[in-house]
Amino acid sequence: MTQKPLTIAVTGLNATDNPAPGVGVLRALRLGDPESRLVGLAYDALDAGIYADGLTSDVFLIPYPSQGLEAFFSRLEYVHDKVGLDVIIPTLDAELPSFIDLEPRLRQLGIRLFLPTREQLDLRSKARLVDLGRKSGIVVPATAVVSDVEELGRVHEKVPYPFFVKGVFYGATLASTYEEAVHAFYKVVSQWGLPVVVQATVRGEEFNVVGVGDGKGGLVGAVPMKKMVITDKGKGWAGITVRDPALAEVTQAFVKATSWRGPFEVEAMRDAEGRYHLIEVNPRFPAWTFLSCAAGMNLPHAVAELAAGRPAPVFGDYKVGSMFVRIAIDQVASFADFQHMVTLGEVARTTNGGQP
């Protein structure tokens, strides 16, 4: 007997030169089960993923979580009434606390998530990276949390210049002097608020790992990648899957220490001695997630299955040397879709739950 195709909603549809992960996750889900109904949850009527041909059946605008939990839940309830959601896969850092808080209420509606707990989420936060390093035995760079400019003036006693000034959710600016640090501090505060994280620089090459934790200290699967081209925003524009046992150990140590449940991305620097330093852990899929499919591990599909209470696919080994090169294209968009997004806040391409 075949299982009922799932209706899965995915957030994070913006796809600029600093893309959100939604499009990659949706592509993976489409590949994982061509029968599934994929629904986009967008924050802006011009999010590029809304207009990608054949990607989603329907798209709905949702309010930013900052507009309040009730408004956010109410909109998800509306989407559920319209399409009958089985699973939601959030892909943005800033919305995760809201989704975690809403998980019991969404479950009552029959909508499942596969996310970390609040405690797990906090433990991997940039502000607590040193605690995570201590608990897991992973090497982390010197890090300090600052809440005002006065503290910033003294921070070099703990974290020497040059250092990165980071927002709680996003952004990293390299500062070599106090003046640069102050400038970066105010920029981060205006975008992401307090506190601000100051992190020592590590010389070396950057490696990333996309993975899924089973919530019991084990890995459902993980695929490591080295960035081959990095944009001026520090984003990987091309990458290749690699295999280094030392990097696999870092990933396993993180998952074991946190009993991580759900998708994650480990960002690490490898120094000249081959030692990995954990820079940060993102609590969601990265934008390059589709590479996991090319390497033989469709991690978004696994998350959808696990969220729905089904057994996760059993993965063999991933393929080393799988490569991606991102491309920027001008896709032709439907003006009618744009009109619907602006006026109605939704595009319903199907009425019977089928393909777009």
Partner 1 sequence: MINQRVRDLALSDTGFVFDPYSGATFTVNPTGLCILRALAEGLARPDVVRRLRESFDAPPAEVEADLDDFLHLLGQQGVLPQDFHLDT
CB of 115 to partner 1, least distance (A): 30
Residue 153 makes contact with partner 1 by CB under 8 A? no
Q: Which of 107, 233, 243, 310 binds partner 1 (CB under 8 A)?
A: 243
Do the Cβ atoms of 51 and 42 come closer than 8 Å?
A: no
Number of neighbouring beta carbons within 10 Å of residue 121 = 19
State the nearest-atom distance from the C-beta of 174 to partner 1, in Å: 23
Query: Considering only residues 195-224, where is the footprint of partner 1 by CB under 8 A?
Result: 205, 207
Residue 228: what residue type? Answer: M
**Pure H helices in 172-288:** 178-192, 245-258
Residues 264-283 as x/- pattern, contact with partner 1 by CB under 8 A: ------x-x-x---------
**194 near 158, Cβ under 8 Å?**
no
Q: What is the CA radius of gyration of the chain?
A: 20
Selected from 46, 230, 320, 325, the binder of partner 1 by CB under 8 A is 320
Work out whether 244 is an interface residue with partner 1 (CB under 8 A).
Answer: yes
Q: Does 110 bind partner 1 (CB under 8 A)?
A: no
CA dist 304 and 289 (Å) reads 14
Query: Which residue, 46 or 323, has its beta carbon nearer to partner 1?
Result: 323
Q: Which amino acid type is present at position 102?
A: L
Any contact of residue 238 with partner 1 (CB under 8 A)? no
What pairs with residue 280 in β-bridges?
Answer: 267
Provide, rounded to whole angstroms, the least separation between the CB of residue 286 and partner 1: 16
Count residues contacting partner 1 (CB under 8 A)? 16
Closer residue to partner 1, CB minimum distance, 194 or 228: 228
In DSSP terms, 260 is beta-bridged to none
Provide the angle, in degrees to the nearest 10, between the axes of the packed helices 22-32 and 299-307: 80
Unique residue bearing structure tokens 């919530």: 215
49 or 239, CB closer to partner 1? Answer: 239
**Residue among 226 and 235 whose Cβ is closer to partner 1:** 226
In angstroms, the CA 91 to CA 233 distance is 19
Residues that bind partner 1 (CB under 8 A): 205, 207, 225-226, 228, 239-244, 270, 272, 274, 320-321
